[in-house]
Structures are given as structure tokens and as C-alpha cells.
Structure 1
């Protein structure tokens, strides 16, 4: 029975979509999620006070930090393992079990810590604890689902699950806003969590229908250890990429003021809509680099061009329509954050270079180098933004852009050197 199951999942994705199709499908899915997420924050901004919005953004950032920690590189490990020809069912069973347990442990740890250190942030309610736990677990599972479906040739399936999840979250927030003005942060977090749960359920159904996989999570050490050995270096690299954007709203909310986080987060969230293009295309670049190492150079340059084209288009739209878009949240958001959004959108180019560099480092096994670069850059980004916080969101974003550009210039030079070395090896 086990052999039949593993064969079925291995053979299912015979109609494998192209790297470009998977890349654009992932980008479209994230665009749908971001659009619905923006609509969610518009409703939230009109449904309650700036303080509650700031506390909600801090909670969402904390959830996302937990998911990035809890994934333990399992998604990247799935890409590597499946690319090497290992049975997908066995790999996925171990990956989902590991990240499910890790998500619960990390979410509980954060909740206990926050309740002890910052009891005045609304984290003591049962609703907050329950929704935070569910959001952390489902969010972690979705990350693995995304990368598993990329590895199996169905990255474009992200469009449906993110569109449905985002629509549900927006709809729930709209109902709350309609029923009662002045919603608390835990109620808004519950609406956001509902959308994440729907995306996770839809992803599980897609994995079953597209590749015939039925989840049977297993914590057997013989399966888990190899997966963790593969995944942890990738996890450290991913954390170096994502941590600055996730940590900064938390630092602002608890070190400066919740209102500072409320004004920064919409600008960052919309800029991230453009940044997701190089991020997701980089995942596909990494997957293709593992499957076909001989095409790494051509795949890298093609991926970078598409990252700049797709992400650049989104960035231009954000620069032009920054004020009108932020006005949908309220005029105070537009006045405080439109300049920040324009500076952050301009960061698309250096961010795309960094993602191309990181994808090549993943494919070539240059983990230590990329992690050192990422940690150094991440600390510099947060420090520079916090140092400018007293001058407003625009000054923070400008400081962020300057530091990001310097880091990308150094990474870009290193990227060219690595690809030249790869070309020489091929000769």
C-alpha cells in the first residue's frame, strides 16, 4: 500500500508546467492575496482606532515571524528532496508533521512571553490566543504547501487559494465593521486568521487533486532528520531575508508607538506586493537550479529580468498612485505614508538583485555566505529605519532604501562573480 501511494504521488505531476508559468502563477496568487489584504486593512482602518490597527499589525507581524521560524526550511528541503527524486509522499508527510508541531510550540512561546512582558497589548483574551495559534499553524503549513507545489510543477495553483483566503478575510472584516464600530485587535486578528485557514484548506485540497497526495504526517526521526539537515541552512537564509520587514512593525509598536506601526505597515504591505515578484520568482529559480544545474546561469538572468519586469510594473503603479491608494485607509494615512510608499517601491530593483543572489547561493550551497550577508543587511535596515522613526515614515523608508541599495550593490557584484565561475566550470 505504501509503495503504491508513493508511486502515485511521484508520477502524478507528469504534466509539469514551465518555470515561467509557475512563477507568474505564484505572483498572481500573491497579488490576489495582497489586494484582498489591502482591502482588509482599509476596512480595519475605518472600523477602529489607529491604536487597535497598530496592535493588529503587530500581532500579524508576530504571527508571520512565528511561521518563518516554524517552517524550519521544510519547504526548501522539499524542493531539494523532490528535485533529487525522493518519493514526494514520504517527504511531505515528514515536512507537514515537523512544521505543524513547530508552529504550535513557537506560537505558544510567543504568547506566553508577550503576556509576561507586555500584558497591556490585548494579548490576554482567549480569542487572541486561539486565533494566534491557528494563524501560526496554518500560515506555516501554507508556506510548505507553496513550495511543495512548486517542486511538483504546480506553482500556479497559488492563485486560487490566495484569492479565496484573502476574500474571506476581507469579507469577515467587512461584516465586523458593519456590525460594530471600534472593533478590538483580537477580533480583527480573528478575521485575518479565518482567511489564512481557508487558504490552507484549499491548498490541501489542491495537493490532493493535482498530485494525488493524502497527508499522513509522520514524526519518525529517520524521516525528519534528513529533512531538517537539508532545510535548516535554507531556513536561516530565509529568515535573514524576511526578518527585517516582519520585526520592524513590532519594534515600532512597542518601542516607538502603535500609531507609528499603523502608519508604516500599509506602506510596507503595498511595497511588499511589488517585492513578492522577485521573491516568488526566486523560489522557482532555486527549484529549477536544483533540477537542472546546467541551466543555472540562463535561468538566473531570465528570472532577474522577469522579476524586474513584473515587480517593476507594480512598483511604478505604487509610485504614481501612492497617495490615492493610501487615502482609501484615511487621509491621515495618506499624509503620513505616501512618501514612504514611494521610497519603498523604488527598492524593488535592489531587492530583485538580492533575491537572484540568494537563489543562486541556495542552488550552489553557499549558505554561510548568503546568511552572513542577509543578517548584516537586516540589522542595518532595522537600525537605520528606527533611527529615523522620529522624523516619520518617509524618513524611515528613505533610510531603508539607502541601506538596501548598498547591500544589493555588493551582492550583485558577488552574483556576477559566482555566475562567471559556474560558466567556467561548464566549459
Structure 2
């Protein structure tokens, strides 16, 4: 039975026709665009369904869920890319990956909820519904991350479009129902609506894997299966955390150190700017996958990926800069007045973020984890500290501080990237 389980999916994966890196990249970007678009619509409905305080608490909860998912994935998504790229049986790799993230997601979600109970024992958000939906969101969110990267490794990154679209529509439908019933929905109800989309996306992803490579999820807890994935994954995960943590941590810090209202005004601007940033991020994942499969073409792959990151990401950034006010106005006058300039400034950081993603992808392929992690920690800390320092002056001042720090970091990282690629090209030739 075990031998059949290892051989059959491997043969299916070999027979599966891989899409080109460009097609996979564009498909991933469209998928994340659908996820971000439905996410933005969710916040529009939420802003009209309840009060600014509840929206702010929900943004803090969503940020906490996303932090838990980033920690819980433990780099298993990147490890799947490396392992499948080296020819290991996809079923065995995925069973181990899903076992890891299932346990880690549950433990981290419970840990956060217990910590929140001690820090804010009188919080309205600590209801039974909040606990249940928070745990489900953390577990399904980590599984969606593994699904994304597993399908990238199989050359089918674009398949994410369907699951994120359907999941987003399910979340929107639930939120619209809540908004229609009454104004003043609590944060735990909004979080439940948001979690529904993640759960639906996860179920569709499992079905897609079964259809493409005949994979049936059987998560394993066997340490011998987990160890190789964790050895590959944890360095990658630490690097990923340096990329994502600043944007996820800042809303939490704003909600608890400044005010929930400030977090509510900042988060939509950041979320929409992240829609543009996802282009270089997702193309960087494909760049990493192709670099593992063909390291001799690293320089060529990197420059091609960087160009497409700029082309696709800049289109989104220009749209955000031009239509910042009407987009934010959909949430209400307060959001448009507070965050229009902030959104434009954050969108203008696209080029800097593309440089950072290209550098990190190259470091992943070459195993330069320590260097990239140190750079990411320093840059991420500087981003959060500068934004918090400017928080009292409003979202625009925060975004300006963020962009200045991001571009200073990108210049330094870009020079280092050029040196690494020159050396890699000489070694390859």
C-alpha cells in the first residue's frame, strides 16, 4: 500500500503537463488579485455593517490569524517546492507537510487566544465563536499556503484562481447577510464570515490536488517524515517571516498601542497596496521554484522574473494611485479622508518591494539564509518603528515613513543582488 501511494502520484506528477513559469506566475497573480478584491469588498461591507471600533478589532484579529499562519507553516510550502523539484513523491511530501501545519496551526492559534485572554481579559472578542473561528482560520490558512506552493511545484500555480474566487464569494455572501440583518455586528461575527472564505478555499484546493495528481490527503505525524521537511522549511520560513511580519504586526501594534480607529484607517490602505506587492511576491515564488529546478539559469530567471514583477505590479500600483480616493470612499468618507495619500505612497513602494523579493528568491536558491534573514529583520524592524513613530500624525505620515525606509533598504539590497548574480553567472559559465 505504501509503495503504491509513493509510485502512483509520482507517475501522475510526471505525466502532468507543466505550465510555463510566466503562465504560472500570471495565474498566481490573478488568483491573489481575486482574493484581494473579494477581501476589499469584505471590508467595505464590514465598514457599513458595524462601527469603526469593531472593524478595527476585526482587522487586529485577522492580522493575528495571518501571523499564526505564517508561523505555523514552518516553511513547509518552500520545502515542498524543493522536495518535489528534486523528484520526491508528492504524496509522501504533502502528507508530512499537512501533518506539520495542522498541528502547528492549532497550537499557535490556541497559544495566541490564551495570551489574549491574559492580556485583555475583558475584551468583547473573546467569545466561544471567536475561539472556534480563529482556530479554523489559522489551520485552513496554513493549509492554503501549502496548497499554493505545492501547485507551483507541480507547474499549476494558476489553479489558485478558482479556490480564492469561490472562497471570497462565500465570505462576501455571509458578510452581506450579516450587514442586511442589522447594523452593529460584533468583531467575532465578522471574523466568522472572513473565516468561511478560508475554509472553502482549503476544501477546493484539496479537490484540485486530487484531480491533478490523484492525491488523497492522509496527514502523517511520523517524525521521520517531518524532519527532512523541517530542515528545509524552517530557514525558508524565517526568511518569509521577515517579508510578511511588518505588514501583519503593524495593525496589531496600532490597535493596542495607538487606537483601534487608527488601525481601521491604516489597514485598508495597506491591504490594497499589498494587492500590488503580491505580484513580485508570487512571481518570486515561481522564480524560486524554477531556480531549484535549473540553478544554472539563475541570473536569466531572476532578471526575467524581476521584469515581469515590475510590469504586472506597476499596473496594479498605477490603478491604486489614480483611483485611491474613490476606492477608499467605498468604505466611507472617514476612510477616504484619512488614508488616500497613504495608499498612494504605499503603492509607490512597488519597485522597492520587487527588488527585495528578487533578492530573497536568489538567496533561497543559493542557501544564503542567514544573510537574507538578518537583512529582513533589520529592514522589518525599521519599517514598523518608523511607522509607529509617525502614527500620531496620521496614516499619510506613517506611509511616508514606511516608503522612505523601504527604498533605502532596496538600494542596499539591490547592490548586493547584482554582486551575487555576477558571481553566480561566472560560476555557471
Structure 1 consecutive aligned stretches of length 4 or more whose deviation exceeds 6 Å: none
Q: Is the 8 A contact 2:27 2:159 kept in 1?
A: yes
Q: Distance in 1 between matches of 2:199 and 2:286?
A: 25
Equivalent runs, 1:19-418 vs 2, <5 Å: 19-418=21-420
Q: Is the 8 A contact 1:115 1:123 kept in 2?
A: no
Deviation readout 1:302-322 (Å, 9 max, x if unpaired): 000000000000000000000
How far residue 363 of structure 1 moved from its aligned partner, in angstroms, is: 0.4
Report what 1:16 is aligned to: 18
Q: Distance in 2 between matches of 1:95 and 1:383?
A: 34
Aligned counterpart for 1:425 among listed residues 420, 424, 427:
427
How far residue 339 of structure 1 moved from its aligned partner, in angstroms, is: 0.5
Q: Distance in 2 between matches of 1:93 and 1:426?
A: 35
Deviation readout 1:114-173 (Å, 9 max, x if unpaired): 011012332320000000000000000000000011111111100000001111111110
How far residue 86 of structure 1 moved from its aligned partner, in angstroms, is: 1.1
Q: Is the 8 A contact 2:12 2:214 kept in 1?
A: yes
Report what 2:3 is aligned to: 3
How far residue 88 of structure 1 moved from its aligned partner, in angstroms, is: 1.0
Q: Distance in 2 between matches of 1:123 and 1:184?
A: 8
Q: Is the 8 A contact 1:77 1:231 kept in 2?
A: yes
Q: Which runs of 5+ in 2 are unaligned?
A: none
Match of 1:17, SS state, is coil
Q: Is the 8 A contact 2:125 2:187 kept in 1?
A: no
How far residue 325 of structure 1 moved from its aligned partner, in angstroms, is: 0.2
Match of 2:352, SS state, is helix
Aligned length, in residue pairs: 427
Q: Distance in 2 between matches of 1:396 and 1:121?
A: 27
Q: Distance in 2 between matches of 1:382 and 1:341?
A: 17
How far residue 108 of structure 1 moved from its aligned partner, in angstroms, is: 0.1
Q: Is the 8 A contact 1:55 1:121 kept in 2?
A: no
Q: Which runs of 5+ in 1 are unaligned?
A: none
Using the size of structure 2 for normalisation, the TM-score is: 0.99
Q: Is the 8 A contact 1:111 1:123 kept in 2?
A: no
Q: Distance in 2 between matches of 1:207 and 1:329?
A: 37
Q: Is the 8 A contact 2:32 2:161 kept in 1?
A: yes
Q: Distance in 1 between matches of 2:349 and 2:59?
A: 22
Q: Distance in 1 between matches of 2:411 and 2:357?
A: 12
Q: Distance in 1 between matches of 2:10 and 2:282?
A: 24
TM-align CA RMSD:
0.7
Match of 1:15, SS state, is coil
Q: Is the 8 A contact 1:326 1:337 kept in 2?
A: yes
Deviation readout 1:343-399 (Å, 9 max, x if unpaired): 000000000000000000000000000000000000000000000000000000000
Q: Distance in 1 between matches of 2:216 and 2:122?
A: 43
Q: Distance in 1 between matches of 2:122 and 2:298?
A: 51
Match of 1:91, SS state, is helix
Q: Is the 8 A contact 2:28 2:161 kept in 1?
A: yes
Q: Is the 8 A contact 1:99 1:141 kept in 2?
A: yes
Q: Distance in 2 between matches of 1:123 and 1:333?
A: 23
How far residue 8 of structure 1 moved from its aligned partner, in angstroms, is: 2.0
Q: Distance in 1 between matches of 2:327 and 2:85?
A: 41
Q: Is the 8 A contact 2:45 2:175 kept in 1?
A: yes
